[in-house]
Amino acid sequence: MENITVTLGERSYPIKISSGLFKDPTAFLPLKAGNQAMLVTNKTLAGIYLNRIKDSITKAGIKIDQIILPDGEQYKTLSVMEQVLTELLHKMHGRDTTLIALGGGVIGDLTGFAAACYQRGVRFIQIPTTLLAMVDSSVGGKTAVNHSLGKNMIGAFHQPISVIIDIDCLKTLPSREFSSGLAEIIKYGIIIDSNFFIWLENHLDEILALETAALTYCIRHCCELKARLVSLDETEQGIRALLNLGHTYGHAIEVEMGYGNWLHGEAVAVGMVMAAQTAYRLNQFSVVDIVRIKKLIMRAGLPVNGPSSMSPKSYLPHIIRDKKVIAGELRLVLPTAIGKSELCIGLSKEVILTAITDCYN
């Protein structure tokens, strides 16, 4: 088993990575006999994993209830989260309960936010079942639901007490969802680790073939990088913001196209190309590196051009409303080279629009 620690003082927690973890009751520590827990998952995953995880937790002497939500980004809402809170109240869960999020980013974000809100905050465990959640959303304590006017606009920072990653889940993941997760993996190479980007160029075929050694190394390395950034900047006041590369553009696509029609990773993939084009328009990024990024993204089965039904101008209202806009100034994460990036402030709408247009030609 691979073990990584997110170092946050008294709120530090482990990330456990292995295969077959769902069958191991000790994987669910620090839950103890006599504890109460609520497992939150969706209809798709319930038929695959629910019983085996419940069996493992029950064998550890933990009383567990469950709630099964509909599957899809369109259900990442306050009204659906209220169903979780209502079930906690109906089943008489107290402040000592633990929520367990079994699913991808939607379930993880929604359950984490419910945990942050219920009785002013209870514990929760992340069990990510998608590649995207394993390498990104399950780590770092960002929890949220969507609003019709913006993605993840309602949420809180609330760290889990444990992240349990069973790579066997990837064997049942649809290929489109798997590719979506690769966007977040490629992101790490662009923003902070050029050697990892080169490793991805050389080993992507092994990852696509679900080879255990390549997958385990890839997931562990991404978790290590994110754990380091979160430990340095938990609430995204500085360096952690680099993890948002491509997300401002990508969120615009998700909102405009309707949640779930474009997967998060698909939108972020295009967003990273748009960020690279923006950096190029500012004379701080090379065409050669743009070509390398686009080539790797396409090999991963991801798009590099924006949706044909969106015009470049349609991005701007969403970008202006983005969470990273402060005092009316646009703030975008842009690459300066593969493996290096920075937060740029005060960018003109004209430069951004030109860069977006580049991704439609």
Active site residue 152: no
Active site residue 90: no
Residue with tokens 């939108």: 267
Output the pLDDT for position 268: 98
Write down the catalytic residue from 54, 123, 240, 331.
240
Active site residue 299: no
Active site residue 226: yes
Band of residue 30 on the pLDDT scale cut at 50, 70, 90? confident
Write down the catalytic residue from 76, 187, 247, 318.
247
Strand partners for 124: 99
Whether pLDDT at 327 is above 60: no
- What is the Cα–Cα distance from 57 to 36, expressed in whole angstroms? 10
- What is the Cα–Cα distance from 32 to 30, expressed in whole angstroms? 6
Write down the catalytic residue from 120, 283, 350, 361.
120
The answer to whether 97 and 38 have CB atoms below 8 angstroms apart is: yes
Write down the catalytic residue from 142, 281, 292, 331.
142
Output the pLDDT for position 326: 60
Output the pLDDT for position 330: 81
Mean of the per-residue pLDDT values of the chain = 94
Q: Where do the structural domains in the chain lie, given as residue ranges?
A: 2-172, 175-358
Does 118 or 346 have the greater pLDDT score? 118
Write down the catalytic residue from 73, 184, 224, 266.
184
Active site residue 247: yes
Write down the catalytic residue from 244, 266, 281, 331.
244
- What is the Cα–Cα distance from 215 to 209, expressed in whole angstroms? 9
Active site residue 228: no
pLDDT tens-digit series, residues 105-156: 999 999 999 999 999 999 999 999 999 999 999 999 999 999 999 999 999 9
Query: What percentage of the chain carries pLDDT values higher than 70?
Result: 98
Active site residue 32: no
CATH topology of domain 2-172: Rossmann fold (3.40.50)
Active site residue 244: yes
Active site residue 184: yes
CB burial of residue 43 (10 Å; 0-12, 13-18, 19+): exposed
- What is the Cα–Cα distance from 358 to 128, expressed in whole angstroms? 35
The answer to whether 245 and 265 have CB atoms below 8 angstroms apart is: no
175-358: what CATH class?
Answer: mainly alpha
The alpha helices in 300-342, defined as continuous H runs, are 316-320
Write down the catalytic residue from 54, 93, 187, 226.
226
Output the pLDDT for position 84: 98
Active site residue 236: yes
Whether pLDDT at 304 is above 70: yes
- What is the Cα–Cα distance from 292 to 295, expressed in whole angstroms? 5
Write down the catalytic residue from 54, 220, 264, 294.
264
pTM of the model: 0.94
The answer to whether 271 and 185 have CB atoms below 8 angstroms apart is: no
What is the C-alpha radius of gyration for the chain, rounded to an integer number of angstroms? 20
Write down the catalytic residue from 16, 54, 221, 251.
251
